[in-house]
Structures are given as C-alpha cells and as structure tokens.
Structure 1
Amino acid sequence: MIHEVDEGLRRLLGGSGLEASGVEVVFDAPTRDWAARRSVPTVCAFLYDIHEDATRRGSGTQEVYDADGHLVARRSPPRWFELTYLVTAWANRPQDEHRLLSQVLACLVATDTLPARLLTGSLAELGLTVSLDTAGSGLDAPAASEVWSALGGELKASLGVRVRAPLAGVSTAVAPPVTEGLLVRSAAGREDGTEAVPGRRLRYTETAAPGPEGFAGPRERRPAPARRRRGERQP
C-alpha cells in the first residue's frame, strides 16, 4: 500500500506541471550526501512516520465472489494508516526553491483526496477514499526539526503532508461449492453372498455415480396425497 501512495503522490505532483518543467519528484531521504549529488531541480517527498488510525478499525468479514457469482474467499476489513511526508524543494537558489514549494503547496491544498484515476494496485481495487491533509496543525508526528536532526542536515523550509490510506485485509479462501450429491458405497458383500451395490446416490433413483448436474439433476417426485375434507371418512 505504501508504494501505491507514493505513486499517487508522484502522479498528482507531476500532473501539476512539475514534470513538464523538468522538475524531478523523488522519495529519497534528503541527507547531506543526497543533497550534494543533486544536479536538477527536485521536489522530495520523504516518508518519515507511519501509524495506524485505530479509531477506524472495523470488524467482521467481507465476502468475495468470482465472475460467476460463486463465493471464493472471505476478507477481513481494511485497516487505515496515516503516512506523514516531509516535502521539500531543491534548486540552485532559495528563490527558485520557494517558487517550487509554492507550486507544490497550491497543488496539495487544492486536493483533499487523491483522485481515483491516480490510484493503482490495492488502493484502486478497494475503491476507498485516500485523503490528504497538507500543512495541518494536528499532525501527530515528529517535528520537522527532529527529522532534520536525525537526517544530519540543516533545517530547510518544508511542508508536512499526511495521507490516510487503507491497507487491504487478509483474504481466506473458502472451499469450492458442492456440485455433487452424496454417494454411498458398501465395504463388504451382502449376507446372501451376492456382491454389494457399487454405489448409490442419495435422493436419486438409478444413479450409481455423480452426474455433471449433481443435486440439480432430475429425480423422481411422488404425487402429493389427496387432502381430505373435514368430516370425510377415509375409505
């Protein structure tokens, strides 16, 4: 799921005009060594915090059907996680970095949810909302200064972006549907010395082996007994 969120963000930022202007969108850790190797204008979205939103944890199971309408699996409900990114802009001059960061900010604050056309893999399959919170005040994650200190770099203007995304539940396959009736075979011969009947299909007449229709096959039905009227004697 994490790499699918990365791809959604990359498509969102790239579609805002960054890629058309030659700006790279990467997800590397912005360390000093990385910054020294950078040679082109870059927007870096560094994922530095992941935790579950326990308030959205569900219960029960979801049934999964194939194209023919047969039950093939049961899936536990998805679990929601919050992914926090540190978004920075890198260029030769601070003015260019601020211009890039302003373009990124305008794109992200105008997007509350990742559009479905940008989702891939399990996120697209689930069809659930993937929300974005940009530069919010309630980000439950380490402060930007702590992140820069851990990376060994100098403090830089950045945006905090939190993405709430579902992780698909675990699927458990179920047994295939029963298509054959119950076949009874005897293990020994009869008391009169004759051989045992090879097999008999319960609830069927003159059926010794499973047919392709199983219980859906034809079987003999006896006519229902005639109903007696009240006070009428049985002959």
Structure 2
Amino acid sequence: MFDELEEALRQLLIQEIPITDGEIEIAFDQPKREWSARLSRPTINLFLYDVRENVMLRNYGFPVSDNEGGEANTVLRKRTPLRMDCNFMVTTWATEPADEHRLLADTMLALARYPTLPERLLEGRLAEQPYELRTLLGAHDRLTNVAEIWSSLDNEIRPSVSYQVVVTMDPWRPVVEPTVREMQLRTNGMAPDADGNSTNAETGYTIAGTLRDSRRDGAPVAGARVAIIGTGRYLITGETGRFTFRLSKPGSFRLTAQHPDGTSTERRLSLPNPAGEFDLVL
C-alpha cells in the first residue's frame, strides 16, 4: 500500500508543478549524508518517517452488511478498519539555495491544492479505500524537533515541511451471523413477575425482513413499497430489499408489499413471533 501511495504522490507532483522530461527527480528515501552526496539533479524527497493510528478518527464498531451470495438469513459483521497517519518529511535539493527554496515552494503549493488525494491517481489497494485519503500540509504538531531528525540522519539541517496522508488499513475478516429479525426492548423500574409481565413495563418490538421476487429466483426487490396495514407506516426498500419497522406493542398485524411493476403481496403475522421470520415473497 505504501508503494502505491508514493506513486500517487509522485504523479501528483509531476502533474501539478509540473515536471517534464524528468528534469526534477522525485524520491522517497532517507535523506542521509551519503544519499544527498550522490544527487546529480534537483530533487524532491518525501521521507516517510512515521506511521501511527489517527486516534481522532478511531471508531471501534462492528457494522453489519448483507451476506450477498451467502447463506440465507445471515449477515456479515466486521470490525471497522484502522485509520493510519502516514507522515512525510518533504525536502528539496539543488545546487543553489535559491533554486532549492523555489522548488520547495512549488512543491508545497502543489500538495496544498488537494485536501484529499484525487481519485484519478489512486490505483491498486488505494482505489479500494472506503474513505477519502485526507491530506494535511505543515501540521503544527509534526516535525517539532527537526534538529534531532537531521542529527540521526547524519546530514546538515535544511528547510523541511511535514505532509500527512490518512489511509485506511483493514486487517479484519467478516464473521457470518444469523439475521436479527425480531428484537424486544423492555424498560422497567421493577423486575417482571414469573410470567414475564410488569404493569410498569414499556415494551417495544423491532421487526426486520427481506422482500424477495419468486419470479427471479428469490432475488431481493429494490424500490418496492412495504407497509403495515392500518398504521400508515411504510418504507421503500433499497438494493438489498431489506425493511425494518418498530412496533410499540405485541399483537397481530398485516404486512403488505407492492413491486414497482404493480405486483403485490400480503402476509399476516403476530408478535412475538416464535419463528422470528418476517420475509415477504412476491
């Protein structure tokens, strides 16, 4: 992934400065003394010196997605990916200080134009990133001790600027779980009796199901109207054909669905539902 990020930055600088005929070299090396001594032409160097988690973007969760093509009545649950800060030290190298400073300014202007890396430059795993690749030039809390960095590199100190790109790293594998089709929520200041009843209890139910088309081998139906008759409550299904309703009390009710082509179906159900199954089939 880091090599693909470096290639994206290379192409960004080539296009935005711009650089023609390889007149300026773009490198991603440690700027050690022996390295700089070998330079033969003006060079922009982006040294990846630090990679760490972006704690401000940390979001520990386990979102659920549809298990398309998998076992029926199952979903995929997966931990949210990591957001990582890739911190570069940007320097420029030329024979004359004036040329060096001019090149550094051009580089900073090119990088500052894009608060996120353009999609046209993203290839491989970068093109599959779930979030935009945020960038930040010259962060106040980066490169706070440049003298120490240059000392460790055994090179003479020179102007530098920090540049940060936030990438997503996803090491987790999804886990297959059964679909939650009925959920009961009870809020009560007193424990229920032996039969599970309480006069002070407030109970809510959430039902969920999928609308499928028997004419298309049970494929989910998108854009259909699903309603609970007599309540005025309805929704339009998305691409996965899923629908969810919340009911305040148990009892019998009728679910109805109408396909965009006018085909409809109806099903009578009750809550609680021992089978825990609320799918509709056209």
| TM-score, normalised with respect to structure 2 | 0.55
Matched residues in 2 for 1:43 and 1:82: separation? 21
**Structure-1 separation of matches of 2:70 and 2:137:** 43
Instruction: Give the whole-Å Cα distance in 2 for the aligned partners of 1:61 and 1:164.
Output: 21
- What per-residue deviation string (whole Å, max 9, x for no partner) do you get for residues 114-148 of structure 1? 01111122221124111111112233x55222211
- State which of 128, 131, 145 in structure 1 corresponds to 2:131: 128
Q: CA deviation at 1:82?
A: 1.0
Residue deviations 1:209-233, cap 9 Å, x none? xxxxxxx9xxxxxxxxxxxxxxxxx
CA spacing shift, 1:62–1:107, aligned 2, 3 Å: farther
Structure 2: runs of 5+ lacking an equivalent = 178-217, 219-282
Aligned partners of 2:157 and 2:9: how far apart in 1? 23
Sort the Cα spacing of 1:67 and 1:24 in 2 relative to 1 into closer, same or farther, 3 A: farther
Aligned to 2:14: 14
1:171 match: secondary structure:
coil
- Opposite residue 48 of structure 2, the aligned amino acid is L
- Alignment-derived partner of residue 95 in structure 2: 92
Q: Give the direction of change, closer, same or farther, for the CA distance of 1:99–1:172 in structure 2 (3 Å limit).
A: same
Q: Whose radius of gyration is greater, 1 or 2?
A: 1
CA deviation string 1:42-83 (max 9, x = no partner): 100001111111232221045476689998965432111111
**Count of residues in correspondence between the two structures:** 176
CA distance in structure 2 between the partners assigned to 1:104 and 1:9 by the alignment = 11
Q: Which runs of 5+ in 1 are unaligned?
A: 176-215, 217-235
8 Å CA contact 1:111–1:132 kept in 2: the answer is yes
1:93-131 deviations in Å (ceiling 9; x for gaps)? 111111111110111122111011111222211241111
- Measure, in 1, the Cα distance between the counterparts of 2:67 and 2:94: 51
Residue in structure 2 matched with residue 78 of structure 1 by the alignment: 81
2:41 equivalent to 1:52: no
| Paired amino acid for 1:55 | M
Q: Residues 106 and 124 of structure 1: is their aligned pair in 2 closer, same or farther, counting only changes over 3 Å?
A: same
Q: What SS does the corresponding residue of 2:19 show, helix, strand or coil?
A: helix
2-structure distance, mates of 1:90, 1:65: 53
Superposed displacement of residue 159, structure 1: 1.3
More helix by share: 1
SS at 2:20 equivalent? helix
Does residue 145 (structure 1) correspond to residue 147 (structure 2)? The answer is: yes
1:158 to 151, 157, 160: 160
Partner of 1:19: helix, strand, or coil?
Answer: coil
Going from structure 1 to structure 2, the CA distance change for 1:67 and 1:25 (only over 3 Å counts) comes to farther
2: CA distance, partners of 1:25 / 1:12: 11
Aligned mates of 1:67, 1:89 — CA distance in 2 = 52
Matches within 5 A, 1:29-68: 29-58=30-59, 59-61=61-63, 63=65
Task: Quote the Cα distance in structure 2 between the aligned partners of 1:132 and 1:6.
Answer: 13
TM-score (norm 1): 0.65
- Measured in 1, the distance between the counterparts of 2:12 and 2:64 equals 31
| Alpha-carbon spacing, 1:147–1:18, altered in 2? closer, same or farther (3 Å) | farther
User: Identity of aligned pairs, percent?
Assistant: 33
Task: Classify 1:135/1:109 alpha carbon distance in 2 versus 1 (closer, same or farther; 3 Å).
Answer: same
Higher strand share: 2
Q: Secondary structure at the match of 1:133?
A: strand
Q: Higher relative CO (CA 8 A, sep ≥ 6), structure 1 or 2?
A: 1
